[in-house]
Structure 1
Amino acid sequence: MAGCGNMLFNPVNVIKSPLIRYGHKMRGKPPTIARSLKQRLSDENPQDISLTFKVDIGFRLPKLSRQDRLKEHSEFKQRKQERTLEKLSRTQKLSVPLDKVKEEWSKSLAPYQIKTAAEHYGVFEHLFGDAYFYPQVMLDVLYKQKEEDLYMKVHRGNVIKPSEATAAPDVSYTADPATLWTLVLTNPDGHFSSDDSEYVHWFVGNIPGSDVSKGDVVWDYLQPFPPRGTGFHRFVFVLYKQEKRMDYSSLKKEQPCVNLSERTFRTQDFYRERQDDITPAGLAFFQSDWDRSLTDFYHNTLNMKEPVFEYDFPPPYIRPQVLFPLRQPFNLYMDKYRDEKQIAKEFLLRKLKNVHPFRKPDPPLKYPNAVPLDNSKVPSWLRTEIKKARLGWGRINDY
């Protein structure tokens, strides 16, 4: 017992293990570092409701009654037990009508899958803030191409180039002719001067039924123009159902409108002012990035210089230079501390040295590594550079 007591209260053991106090191990962090109970409760129950609460601003989804669900289940069991369908499927002779499949999908799973895709791309967050909706009206958006009978269809985030979306698309959906609708195409990623604003590319209001051509054009169609270096931009079609005829005279601009400041738009403000009279019901969106056709569009249509964006990478960390670097090539080590422009100039001049304006370049060596060097006393770092030049490797071939 005396030995145990000496071991238990030995100050040397306490110094080696600060978490051991009289034979007990502390669980968790010390009280000076750990969070209090009040802090933990505040993290689990935030005061900001927007972090945990989302508002459904769309139409309520129809729910099947118990009898309808039982009927569908019994029909499914009957189809599953049919031997003829199983045989046709096994022999790859079963024909499935795609129109009926699409119609069934639009009635059952489409609102949920479109909403999930929109949440994945952040469409609801950047357009409506803390609100969302289930798209129950299926939008068919088709961009006609120069070739006959060729269309680019807008799905849920597919890529369409600006050169493929120069003209207004054909938009169709199923609606009662006595109803009124509003169609808006907006870009939440492309505003040049404001992070929380958008550019509206198309706005047609008071559409009778599904005839978009008979609606009131508030903003005429403007093709996508994502600047070079900014990656993919989202272009979102939102279809609103109107409760009455809307007055959009305060938004309407002189057509054609190519002034980008007059196309500044915020979907959240637009909906808040008219949320009692319009309800979002349809959604479709695509992505687009820069292509060469936009150079002419910026210069001749928007009458502005084409913007080009580049990311400023932070300079890499380089250790202080030492007098005798060990276990690394001498030339590569010295290049770390030289001006990059000077290095690029040397490589370019080295390549231009063997280029003649009127003669073809010399054919490459058939077996580059088998050709001996002229001087056997070439240092190892220079030997590697000669091998790279013969094999066509390295920065000299990038110019």
Structure 2
Amino acid sequence: MDKLDLIPEVLDEEPISVLKVKFQGRLLKPGDVLRPKTVKLVPELEWLNDETALYTVCMIDPDAPSRNDHRFREFLHWLVINAPINRVKGGTTVAGYIGAGPPKGTGLHRYVILVFKQREKIKVEEAKISRYSAFGRARFSNKAFARKYNLGQAVAGNIFLSEWDDYVPKLYRRLEFCPNH
């Protein structure tokens, strides 16, 4: 993951292991380039760690609105807390999943999916964000969130790259979002 310049801008250190991620049955290899229409549905995740612990899952785009102009870094695409191992659906969704949606002409964006082991069950102060809303997602900081809730180093992580395709305008309409405003 470090080859994609995530440390120290997004992470303090590499995740301990590679997160197994499947989008529509396709296994993600770190650094794969995937089209937004391929990642529009919630992925399946699998990680190895403590089966008695709870986990936080986070997906961010550090390149919003582009890799050269990242004034909205990090754009939050998904946040789930208190998830049992390998069962994200068993956790509490703080920010509903939205797939990749890079603006047209901004090139490849990095999408980072991280899993953090929690020391205890957590209750977040942040407002919940619907999967139909873009509001409250810009300028999220995974490092600040991890510090605030004492999450420590990510136990697993993976990354894919994506750029605009014809699915993105459909995503923006669903989110009532215009990237130029």
Under TM normalisation by the shorter chain, which class is it?
0.7 to 0.9
Deviations 1:232-282 (A, max 9, x none): 00000111011111111x12314334133x11211222123233x443111
Q: Distance in 1 between matches of 2:98 and 2:161?
A: 15
CA RMSD after TM alignment: 2.1
The runs of 5 or more residues in structure 1 that have no matched partner are 1-117, 145-150, 308-399
Q: Distance in 2 between matches of 1:183 and 1:160?
A: 20
Q: How does 1:173-212 map to 2 (within 5 A)?
A: 173-191=47-65, 195=71, 197-212=73-88
Deviations 1:313-332 (A, max 9, x none): xxxxxxxxxxxxxxxxxxxx
Would you say 1:272 and 2:155 are equivalent positions? Answer: no
Q: Distance in 2 between matches of 1:215 and 1:294?
A: 28
Report the TM-score, using the length of structure 1 for normalisation. 0.41
Where does residue 242 of structure 1 map in the other structure? Answer: 118
Q: Distance in 2 between matches of 1:305 and 1:247?
A: 31
Deviations 1:66-116 (A, max 9, x none): xxxxxxxxxxxxxxxxxxxxxxxxxxxxxxxxxxxxxxxxxxxxxxxxxxx
Give the 3-state SS of the residue equivalent to 2:153 in structure 1.
Answer: strand
Give the drift of 1:141: 0.6
Q: Distance in 1 between matches of 2:122 and 2:17?
A: 20
The runs of 5 or more residues in structure 2 that have no matched partner are none
Give the drift of 1:230: 0.5
Would you say 1:303 and 2:176 are equivalent positions? Answer: yes
Give the drift of 1:218: 0.7
Percent identical residues: 24
More strand by share: 2
Question: Given that residues 218 and 252 in structure 1 are in contact (C-alpha distance below 8 angstroms), is that contact kept between their aligned partners in structure 2?
Answer: yes
Q: Distance in 1 between matches of 2:174 and 2:72?
A: 25
- Which structure has more relative contact order (CA 8 Å, sep 6+)? It is 2
Q: How does 1:17-96 map to 2 (within 5 A)?
A: none
Residues 188 and 137 of structure 1, relative CA distance in 2, 3 Å threshold: same
Question: Given that residues 60 and 78 in structure 2 are in contact (C-alpha distance below 8 angstroms), is that contact kept between their aligned partners in structure 1?
Answer: yes
Give the drift of 1:177: 2.8
More helix by share: 1
Where does residue 171 of structure 1 map in the other structure? Answer: 45
Larger Rg: 1 or 2? 1
Residues 153 and 252 of structure 1, relative CA distance in 2, 3 Å threshold: farther
Would you say 1:141 and 2:21 are equivalent positions? Answer: yes
